[in-house]
Amino acid sequence: MTQDVRPSGAPFKRLFFALSLGEEQRRGISQWRRGLGLRSGKPVPSENFHVTLLFLGDVDAAQVPAVCAVVDALRLPEAKLRLVLDQLQVWPRASALVLAPAQAPLALRQLVYDLQQALLPLGIEPSVREYRPHLTLSRDFREPLPEAGEAPAFHLVARHFTLYESRKGRYWPLAEWSLTQ
């Protein structure tokens, strides 16, 4: 597996935790997005659809086992996470068109907080921004909110979450944790 290298010569990986989607969900969202008739932006490939939990950024490759170990030690939710993506939004600052939930479930917010706290001893600082779960439909999107012929209502049931490496526009799963006992 190819690794990027810091100026110091130390290899690193660009990491994030996310909820993945099933093939049927990805197809449904992709088909719904086509109905928007988007003329600008760069559509996210459907195989990259996910709901980010926590973006870690560039992490020394040698720290990946420690990251996995602290997550292994976490007390995870004992039930599947349920999330409804029912809001189409333009995030001008990020130049993104996203699907988001009207309300983030408490169990989801708690999981994100627990991940943030568990990683602090490793020197991985959480973002100072409030967590806003979303699925990115298009990047470099600088248009007004498109009109949807059909309101979004995508019900996601997450049975696990995954640690991904982002490399050259593709996401590679490195580890996975079950959300069902």
Cα 125 from Cα 119, distance rounded (Å):
7
| Burial class, 9, CB count within 10 angstroms (exposed 0-12 / middle 13-18 / buried 19+) | exposed
- Residue whose C-alpha is closest to residue 29's, from 136, 154, 161: 154
171's CB contacts (< 8 A; 6+ apart) are 18, 48, 50, 164, 165
Catalytic pick from 16, 50, 90, 146?
A: 50
Quick check: is 50 catalytic? yes
Specify the 3-state DSSP secondary structure of 10: coil
Cα 3 from Cα 15, distance rounded (Å):
12
Catalytic pick from 32, 107, 134, 179?
A: 134
Catalytic residues: 50, 134
